[in-house]
Amino acid sequence: MWIINRQFWLLRSWLIISSHLAEWHKFGMQRKEHSAYRLLSLTLIIAVVCGLAVIGNPAPVASVTPAQTCTAWNARSFPISGVVCGGSTHALSCSPGAIYKCQAGGAQFQQNNCTLSQACPVGCLTGPTTGNLADSCFSGSPPLTLSTSNTPGGNDVTLTVALAASHPNGAIVNLSINRGDLVPGSYCAVPDLAAGETSVSFALPTAVVSASTDVTMYTNISYTDASGTSRQLVSGASILTLAPGGTAAPPPPLASFTLTPSTIGPGQVSFMDVVLSKMAPAQGVNVSVSSSDPSVASVIQNGQPTVLGGCTTGGGAATIAAADSVPHQATVTISANSGAPSQPAGVTHPLTVTGGCAALTCLEARGGQSTVEPVETCQTAAAARSSAAVTSGRPAGAVALWACVEQHPARPPPAQPRERPAAQSRTAAAAR
């Protein structure tokens, strides 16, 4: 309907302009004093009439011309037959939002078994997946709209996903972007539609570019309708043009972070997860972590969290490691900083490290011999010895018979030199 209205207004505009051109040519020479007036009138007519051609009708979003052929296979990579919706799960290699007719019967891995049947203005909708595939064009509200089709790189862009059809179990929104490096976040920033929810809007960041660059995107909304039929609504591909001259957004402040677990023993690690107060800009955010006492709990440099562009959360790696030997329980302050100008001090969180040896082994020296014992045995024996020392009036520090050592399974405990029997010594001396 929009195309018909547009053609009508353009035809009407041309007729009006043509009649005034004829009038200007007929009378312009006779009344030269009116030529400037008539030229101004003509200009106004062109501006007003051409403006009426689009008033009340939104400018169409730039779209991609569908491919003439594509490939659609079944799970065994054999070509399928039927009418398919490009961009759906059974026609992922076909242009999104277009209808293709596919032929089966070919060999496994056959290419280009589908040909373009119809370039749908809005998108396409899958039918039942049982029997012959009979997908069709969709004529409702656009499944995907952009707040703008042209913006300087570095600005956020707002996307709106719409689904008017009944979806009592909710709907999964899948967003595909051909340049995830320039418009990231399709995997973490896109919300799904709850049951009864007909639309949802969200923002994505864009990267700064040095030259005008087009980014293509489309959405696939997967849902089960009221009759229990699984469907996919696929939008046509939309183009977002990123212009040069933009500025990269600064990193947002940290809202919070967690340490799991928040209490660790010697030699153990704690995992960090961070939450930003706003989605990360396109370049992402590298969170810097520090410890108030690295001798007790140090930062694992490669484990510091990163929040990818468009996301608000990150981390999940081992970030803090406790020392193998901690004399007594200690609380260490862990700081995290996103680099946000408005939050120079970052955010802090306490971490408790219990005293003792790492859960490896410890070394006991007794009577000139050394044995490697399990830590639990060592700790129990050390406690008993310390108690005995205190009871006997000796200072506990005098019993320094235990020390933490690194366990090497392939390396036996250090052997102590043993004195040879007297007979063996005499025999060896006689031999010399």
Confidence category of residue 416, pLDDT binned at 50, 70, 90: low
Confidence category of residue 109, pLDDT binned at 50, 70, 90: very high
Confidence category of residue 403, pLDDT binned at 50, 70, 90: low
- Tokens 């790492």 map to which residue? 358
Is the pTM of the predicted complex or chain greater than 0.85?
no
**Residue 210 confidence (pLDDT) above 50:** yes
Mean pLDDT of 22-40: 35
pLDDT at 14: 38
**Mind listing the pLDDT tens digit for each residue in 74-98?**
999 999 999 999 999 989 999 999 9
Beta carbons within 8 Å of 211's beta carbon, 6+ residues apart: 244
Strand partners of residue 352: 263, 331
Tell me how far apart the alpha carbons of residues 2 and 138 are, in angstroms, rounded to a whole number: 15
Residue 303 backbone phi and psi in degrees, to 5? -100, 5
Residue with the larger pLDDT of the pair 6 and 100: 100
Tell me how far apart the alpha carbons of residues 384 and 31 are, in angstroms, rounded to a whole number: 121
**Residue 367 confidence (pLDDT) above 70:** no
Strand partners of residue 401: none
**Homologous superfamily of the 144-243 domain (CATH):** Immunoglobulins (2.60.40.10)
* Mean of the per-residue pLDDT values of the chain: 79
| CA–CA–CA angle 94, 231, 186 (5° rounding) | 60
pLDDT at 132: 85
SS3 label, residue 203:
strand
**Mind listing the pLDDT tens digit for each residue in 271-314?**
999 999 999 999 999 999 999 999 999 999 999 999 999 999 99
The fraction of the chain above a pLDDT of 90, given in percent, is 65
Confidence category of residue 383, pLDDT binned at 50, 70, 90: low
Q: Render 366-389 in DSSP notation, one character per residue.
A: ETTEEEEEEHHHHHHHHHHHHHHH
pLDDT at 277: 97
Confidence category of residue 231, pLDDT binned at 50, 70, 90: very high
pLDDT at 359: 57
Mean pLDDT of 313-322: 97
Extract the tokens encoding 299: 């930062």
- Tokens 């990123």 map to which residue? 242
Of 41-55, 58-72, 141-155, 382-396, where does mean pLDDT reach its minimum?
41-55
Q: Render 62-119 in DSSP notation, one character per residue.
A: PBPPPPSEE--B-TTSPBP-EEEETTSTT-TTSPTTEEEEE---S-TT----EEEEEE
Q: Render 129-156 in DSSP notation, one character per residue.
A: SSSSEE-EEE-SS-SEEES-SEEEBTB-
pLDDT at 106: 85
Radius of gyration of the chain (CA): 37
**Residue 412 confidence (pLDDT) above 80:** no
pLDDT at 129: 75
Of 155-159, 304-308, 353-357, where does mean pLDDT reach its minimum?
353-357
Residue with the larger pLDDT of the pair 374 and 301: 301
Determine whether domain 254-357 maps to CATH 3.30.565.10: no
**Mind listing the pLDDT tens digit for each residue in 114-138?**
999 999 999 999 998 777 899 999 9
**Mind listing the pLDDT tens digit for each residue in 321-330?**
999 999 999 9
Residue with the larger pLDDT of the pair 106 and 173: 173
**Residue 168 confidence (pLDDT) above 70:** yes
Confidence category of residue 393, pLDDT binned at 50, 70, 90: very low
pLDDT at 130: 73
**Mind listing the pLDDT tens digit for each residue in 35-52?**
333 333 333 333 333 333
Most confident of the following: 29-33, 240-244, 361-365: 240-244
Q: Where in the chain is the domain with CATH 2.60.40.10?
A: 144-243, 254-357
| Contact present, 137 and 122 (Cβ < 8 Å) | yes
Report cis status (omega within 30 of 0) of the bond before 205.
Answer: no
Give the Cβ contact number of residue 199 at 10 Å. 13
Tell me how far apart the alpha carbons of residues 242 and 44 are, in angstroms, rounded to a whole number: 33
The fraction of the chain above a pLDDT of 70, given in percent, is 68
Tell me how far apart the alpha carbons of residues 374 and 325 are, in angstroms, rounded to a whole number: 15
pLDDT at 131: 72
Beta carbons within 8 Å of 189's beta carbon, 6+ residues apart: 202, 203, 204, 279, 310, 311, 312
| CA–CA–CA angle 44, 47, 49 (5° rounding) | 100
pLDDT at 89: 93
Residue with the larger pLDDT of the pair 185 and 402: 185
Extract the tokens encoding 83: 């009418």
Confidence category of residue 338, pLDDT binned at 50, 70, 90: very high
